[in-house]
Chains A and B, each alone.
Chain A
Amino acid sequence: MRSARRTRTAAALLAAVTLAPAACGAGGGAGQKLINLYNAPQENLAAIVDRCNDLAAGRYRIVLNTLPRDADGQREQLVRRLAAADPGLDVLGLDVTWTAELAEARWIREWTGEHARQARAGTLAKPLETATWQGKLYAAPYNTNVQLLWYRSDLVQEPPRTWDEMMRVAADLAARGKPHYGEVTGAQYEGLVVWFNSLVASAGGRILNPEGTRVELGPPALKALQVLRDYARSQAADPSLPNTQEDAARLAMEGGRAAFEVNWPFVYASMASNKPDMLPVFKWAPYPGIQGPGASPLGGGNFAVSAYSPNPEESFQAALCLRDPTSQLTAAVKDGLPPTIEAVYDDPAMAEPYPMRQAILDALKTAAPRPRTPTYQNVSTMISAALSPPAAIDPPATLGQLREQIAEALRSQGVLP
């Protein structure tokens, strides 16, 4: 998920809208190939594109097209046009969960040879996995993301390591009349699936087998469901938990309602600009687990090349430039998107905006990728529907329901709500 992008201003959209036609008009040079990039709104992507266009020295010119703000809207536009074999798409900015779906439908090209080597070189293992389907590379990782536990050190001395500890700390704070909510993404959407997936992984299980063909769940999932329900009924739960997405969690923290939250690192930059006086007590810790540290949710975005692109060679080159270390540093420092190339984290420019960079790298070692299957959209829809609202979960019954509905979703035969 590209939660960080949610905070970007409309300026990015405006810039994209005003720049795109200009770029089209300017692309007059004979033999110059236009590469249409479709990506989620990102404020400084235009600067990255400009740099790559300069480097291309006339071989191609990237035209930036901005997709809708929400992930579902982005996916809808992409798949609708890919299903119609639209040649107007070249480089596609994909959420990490779409790789299998688009690869299986043969809408994106496999990365091979020199391109694949460059995409893999120095790239962190977990993000690379999200760009891979059945052993083949289908995208170049652009940015990654992991959730951390963020807490106020003026309220919580020792950060909780497990969800049980979080509930205990919250009860203790509540008894002392202090802010005690622990914000989580409990609304019926992808964020709830992300939470559940991390809980299952923290309990030592998986939702699907690695091939994405069979439902696993089992006792770890039962444990995860119990934790979900208990947490939603505990004093740590904000009353609007069943309606909370990333941004609401961030706002509750900045507004002083909450003592901690699990969220993506974009909350740090937001705190720095919105509530600088709270920043000194705004600390981070590993994502909580069932027993000991948990497995962080893994997000991010990758660049793929459309199967219907008339200029595949230039598209691969453009995608590689857009995700090279310099581009990733710009995205990281200016737009809050953690890099996928490990060396970028050592850049001195990273120190100030990313004091938590070591925590991100550590979390990336154990992060829990979401299930990989071409029908991920169906699986995710079923899970969020079955788990919502979390306080109403009846662990054994919900588990049975999940097994049945996910199995149907895998065959793409089930009816979506």
Chain B
Amino acid sequence: MTTGRALTEGQRSERRLGLWLCAPAAFIMLLVTGWPIVYSVLLSLQRYDLRFPADRAWVGLSNYAAVLTNGFWWSALWVTVVITVISVAIELVLGMALAFAMYRALVGRGLVRTVVLIPYGIVTVAAAYGWRYAWTPGTGWLAGMLPEGSAPLTDRVSAIAIIILAEVWKTTPFMALLLMAGMAVVPEELLRAASMDGASRWQRFVRVTLPLMKPAILVALLFRTLDAFRIFDNIYVLTNGSQNTSSVSITAYHNLIGGLNLGIGSTMSVLILISVAIIATLFIVGFGTAAPGSGR
């Protein structure tokens, strides 16, 4: 990023002052995020079960071996990937449509934006309980529409589908908001010029709007993918991991809090952190120069 030109004395002292001004914030960030990460890495290298404090010992990487050779972990990872990919894909398409509707609405723009944002304003856990009761036979209006005797939350595939539905319903407005912010930066003149050149509505969207929105799409996708990968509350309420519907976060929670096994649980947390880092890197590399801040 350096320009290669030597900095003047004034610029250098300004930069130094900037660093000093940042230092307290950076230090606190390091303290509150850095230490827990280091601590969980340390815990992941120990056999440490709260119920057997006497057995605490350093065990190297054997917790990692235990987790990575375990069927429950891979099942959870697979479930998480499926939920992430499907829900984010649906959210992107729906979110784009909603963003367009919110941005281009001619009448009642305020009303449209408010209505679209309602699901995002409801607490996830409260909404998840709503979904759970709706899908429970006997009490639920949605389950009531299904054939007699079906209990969709007790079957793996249908339960995952319901989890995805709840996720999409809840977070599409967030996606739409981020995308709408991206839409606002597309200059009106470009679209008008394209239309003068005879570009159709679809061509203007694909050839002008989308490329200019690329940074906004990247940010929206990155945010949502990382969020979706850490999915917890919807699953916790809807199935709590029954019938192999655990996500990696649910599995880590069950081992840490339910099983009181700090070693295994921390190992899972570290593996989730690594996965999240990989996803973030892939996104930045995949979108190349469109990454925000890298300039074009």
Which residues of A are at the interface with B, using a C-beta cutoff of 8 A?
A: 72, 76, 79-80, 83, 101, 104-105, 187-189, 239-240, 242-243, 248, 251, 255, 374-375, 377-378, 381, 385, 388-389, 412-417
B204 at the interface (CB under 8 A from A): no
B61 to chain A, nearest CB (A): 14
Partner pick for A412 among B70, B73, B251, B261, CB 8 A cutoff: B261
Which A-chain residue is minimally distant from B148 (CB atoms)? Answer: A239
B72 touches A415 (CB 8 A): yes
Partner pick for A105 among B50, B243, B244, CB 8 A cutoff: B50
A240 touches B50 (CB 8 A): no
B254 touches A76 (CB 8 A): no
Best-buried of B51, B150, B154, B243 by chain A (most CB within 10 Å): B51
Partner pick for B154 among A375, A377, A389, CB 8 A cutoff: A389
The interface residues of chain A lying within 8 Å CB-to-CB of B241 are 417
B258 at the interface (CB under 8 A from A): yes
How many residue pairs between the two chains, A and B, have CB atoms under 8 Å in the bound complex? 88
Q: Which of B65-117 contact A (CB under 8 A)?
A: 66-67, 70, 72-73, 75-76
B242 touches A412 (CB 8 A): no
The interface residues of chain B lying within 8 Å CB-to-CB of A105 are 50-53
Between-chain CB contacts (< 8 Å), 10 pairs: A72-B258, A242-B154, A243-B136, A248-B138, A377-B258, A381-B258, A412-B51, A412-B261, A414-B66, A417-B241
Instruction: Tell whether A381 pairs with B51 under 8 Å between CB atoms, given A240-B149, A243-B153, A417-B246.
Output: no
The interface residues of chain B lying within 8 Å CB-to-CB of A101 are 51
Partner pick for A83 among B72, B137, B149, B260, CB 8 A cutoff: B260
The interface residues of chain A lying within 8 Å CB-to-CB of B246 are 417
Best-buried of A104, A105, A239, A243 by chain B (most CB within 10 Å): A243
The interface residues of chain A lying within 8 Å CB-to-CB of B121 are none
**Could you give, for residues 153-166 of chain B, a 1 whenever the CB lies within 8 Å of some chain A CB and a 0 otherwise?**
11000000000000
What separation, in Å, do the CA atoms of A187 and B239 have in the docked complex? 11
The interface residues of chain A lying within 8 Å CB-to-CB of B153 are 243
What separation, in Å, do the CA atoms of A252 and B264 have in the docked complex? 40
The list of the 9 closest CB pairs from A to B, nearest first, reads A239-B149, A188-B242, A415-B70, A243-B154, A417-B72, A242-B154, A240-B151, A243-B151, A105-B51
The interface residues of chain B lying within 8 Å CB-to-CB of A242 are 151, 154, 243
What separation, in Å, do the CA atoms of A24 and B242 have in the docked complex? 41
B40 at the interface (CB under 8 A from A): no
B255 at the interface (CB under 8 A from A): yes
A415 touches B73 (CB 8 A): yes
B66 touches A417 (CB 8 A): no
The interface residues of chain A lying within 8 Å CB-to-CB of B75 are 417
What separation, in Å, do the CA atoms of A377 and B138 have in the docked complex? 30
B233 at the interface (CB under 8 A from A): no
B150 touches A104 (CB 8 A): no
Instruction: Tell whether A417 pairs with B254 under 8 Å between CB atoms, given A83-B50, A388-B243.
Output: yes
B154 touches A76 (CB 8 A): no
The interface residues of chain B lying within 8 Å CB-to-CB of A255 are 138
B185 at the interface (CB under 8 A from A): no
Instruction: Tell whether A416 pairs with B151 under 8 Å between CB atoms, given A76-B257, A381-B258.
Output: no
What separation, in Å, do the CA atoms of A416 and B154 have in the docked complex? 19
B254 touches A416 (CB 8 A): yes
What separation, in Å, do the CA atoms of A388 and B153 have in the docked complex? 13
What separation, in Å, do the CA atoms of A377 and B260 have in the docked complex? 10
A61 to chain B, nearest CB (A): 31
A375 touches B51 (CB 8 A): yes
B247 to chain A, nearest CB (A): 11
A374 to chain B, nearest CB (A): 5
